[in-house]
Amino acid sequence: MSDTKSLAGRNVIVTGSTSGIGLGIAHAFAKAGANIVINGLGTAQDNEPVRAAVAAAGTEVVFSGANMMKSEAISAMVDQAQSSFGAIDIIVNNVGIQHVSPIEDFPEEKWDAVMALNLTSAFHLTRFVAGAMKQRGWGRIINIASAHSLVASPYKAAYVAAKHGLAGLTKVVALEMAEYGVTCNAISPGYVLTPLVEAQIPDTAKARGITEDEVKRDVLLKAQSTKKFVTVEQVADTALFLCSDAAAQITGSNISVDGGWTAH
């Protein structure tokens, strides 16, 4: 899909895109011809190798270090994107963090942080670009949710609540934008083997006294029926499809890419 330059001339912001799924989406969209704002923690200098790798596809790529917990920083990122490229055609609300704890011990500051990043940042970025997208009569808003936007797991109160909230926000925005050529959809991956997930495997193996393969199969992929991780590329190609003309009538959807997890 990405060799057709289907996004030539499109300008895109992908939040939380210096690693994992967001980075995969940035690469796929740049290969499809889009200019990209990549965003993540750290300085421009720290992130220059990542920026340059995405820009190797031949489009313009700029880095924003906006802290997605702060609405002023999100607003400044939109200004930066507009002054670099002009109008924003596509946003991918991807940034997200996890915190695992029983509800009775769930730290208030972790609840607030998970909500701010996984849900409120999408509200802010969407509201900052929605008016202009409506005026121009074309736009794509893609929210990276999770299987946890549809089903729950214990100890993930904030994450599950935020992702269910993101699925709800997706529907509201879809309805408000429906007559203006702007679609809004969620993609809900199951487990994807990003650096974040990979880093948890050795510790879980040690804690449970099992092998790393057993952690993958019996812990992480327990509910994922295919017993295979979703790949970053599979999520990125789904996002690319949602930007195509073929997907113009898909809006307000929550597309599962979860190896059958939520079919249970």
Binding site for ligand NAD (CB under 6 A): 16-22, 39-41, 67-69, 94-97, 117-118, 144, 146, 189, 191-192, 194-197
Based on the residue annotation, tell me whether 155 is a catalytic residue of this protein. no
Distance (Å) of CA 48 to CA 39, 52, 55, 183: 12, 6, 10, 32
In the complex with ligand NAD, which residue's Cβ is closer, 21 or 61? 21
How far apart CA 160 and CA 22 sit, in angstroms, is: 20
In the complex with ligand NAD, which residue's Cβ is closer, 72 or 86? 72
In the complex with ligand NAD, which residue's Cβ is closer, 6 or 94? 94
Q: How far is the CB of 49 from ligand NAD (least distance, A)?
A: 13
Tokens of 4: 């057709």
Tokens of 72: 């002023």
DSSP letter for each residue of 169-182: HHHHHHHHHGGGTE
Q: How far is the CB of 44 from ligand NAD (least distance, A)?
A: 13
Q: How far is the CB of 95 from ligand NAD (least distance, A)?
A: 5
How far apart CA 167 and CA 173 sit, in angstroms, is: 10
In the complex with ligand NAD, which residue's Cβ is closer, 178 or 197? 197
Q: What is the DSSP letter of 186?
A: E
Do residues 219 and 45 touch, judged by C-beta distance below 8 A?
no
Q: How far is the CB of 136 from ligand NAD (least distance, A)?
A: 27
- The rounded Cα 119 to chain-centroid distance in angstroms is 11
List the catalytic residue out of 155, 159, 180, 191. 159
How far apart CA 113 and CA 99 sit, in angstroms, is: 9
In the complex with ligand NAD, which residue's Cβ is closer, 9 or 202? 202
Residue 5's Cβ-count burial label (10 Å; 0-12, 13-18, 19+) is middle
What lies within 8 Å, CB to CB, of 135 at 6+ separation is none
The secondary structure element, H or E, covering residue 90 is strand 90-93
Q: How far is the CB of 41 from ligand NAD (least distance, A)?
A: 4
How far apart CA 121 and CA 111 sit, in angstroms, is: 14
Catalytic residue IDs: 159
